[in-house]
Structure 1
Amino acid sequence: MQNIKNIIFDYGNVIFDIDFKIAQASFQKLGITDVETFFAHKAHNSLFDDFETGAISPAEFRAGIRAAANQPQLTDQQVDDAWNSLLIGTIQQNHDLLLQVKAKYRTFLLSNNNEIHYDWIINYLQATFKMNNYDDYFEKAYFSQHMKLRKPNTDIFEQVLKENNLNPAETLFIDDSPQHIAGAKKVGLNTLLMTEKPAQLGAFLKANGIL
């Protein structure tokens, strides 16, 4: 793409497959009845925002799920398994693509995440790809629970831009969530809405002139 020197990637449903419907079904099995309003792609209970910004601990998050389900006897493992059912996986090809993009641009990862998902993902990467983290694939990987900020709020984008001395006019943000794209546009970032599955990331990047 013309004039683009830097790319900020989202993680879920850009690089790594996630499925909100599976998580909704898992929460329903725990006893949560209003899953469409409790947890969905475009909106959810404030419990999730608090967890993604590190405002509450994993123990407090689990307590919130128990309260929402009205099931105080649920074990930590039951809650974690339901929450982690969102996470599907990724493919080696996408890691190879990230290295190709990194060779041409300054690249960054910016993910709304949380401690339970993060630990699952790191264990998955180690077991499946012998990777310890994403340090080799991006100049820097940012996760909301470490930053105490989350997308689509403009302050999270502003921090990444400021810390890395990035010109928003020369920076592209790729995400699958329209509300996150809208937040990025407010700080002047160029944006692309990911409309394909992560398995099609290579074709998506080529179609948009990135590779």
Structure 2
Amino acid sequence: MTVTLITGANKGIGFETAKQLLAEGHTVYIGARDVERGEKAAADLGARFVQLDVTDDDSVAGALAAIDSAEGKLDVLVHNAGVLGGETLDGPTALRVFDTNAVGIVRVTEAALPLLRKSSNPTVVTVSSSAGSFWAVTNPDRPEFGLPLALYSASKAAATMLTVQYAKSQPGIKFNAVEPGTTATDMTAAFGIGRSPEESARVVVRLATLDVNGPTGTFSDETGELPW
């Protein structure tokens, strides 16, 4: 059985990714900060729940310890938790956005590595964004060009770089970052844009179900690898 952990999976792309991976036969753990919402999402899907706040070391350690106790391994880790940050540019907002979108990746990955190494096909997928791509945000033909999201964009650039660096330092584990597509979620409601989370989740699922010979160290969307 393939054991999968998805952070921030009680709603949006994370929820739909969990739903689709369950259909693929995975044992899916919904990671969420809020216990009530996380438990409800897991119950609705037939998944399992672990309380997981990516900004809290003890919470992360507890979640991975629970999975270790129940499963003894982790095959797939999906870094989905994220915050937008809005237009406010100040120190506290920057710390919050980077703590969730970038530092959280380090916390969860480091805690998960011992379990991933027990898998025969360990895979890590980072839900990143082309809003963190120099190529996209400087291209007037791209939707990212006009987004006023400096902190979100910068933190996603960091998330993609962390993915590449982990791929280099952990050659036995596949690490790939993905641009899931502009998606209509509560994070993007103010912009009134995006397709359904179900459609975008398919892009994540593709990378979460790579075979043992799949690529690593890539940044891609549904069309293939992206410049950044």
Structure with bigger RCO (C-alpha 8 Å, 6+ apart)? 1
- The alignment's TM-score, normalised by the length of structure 1, stands at 0.33
Q: Which of the two has higher C-alpha Rg?
A: 1
- The alignment's TM-score, normalised by the length of structure 2, stands at 0.31
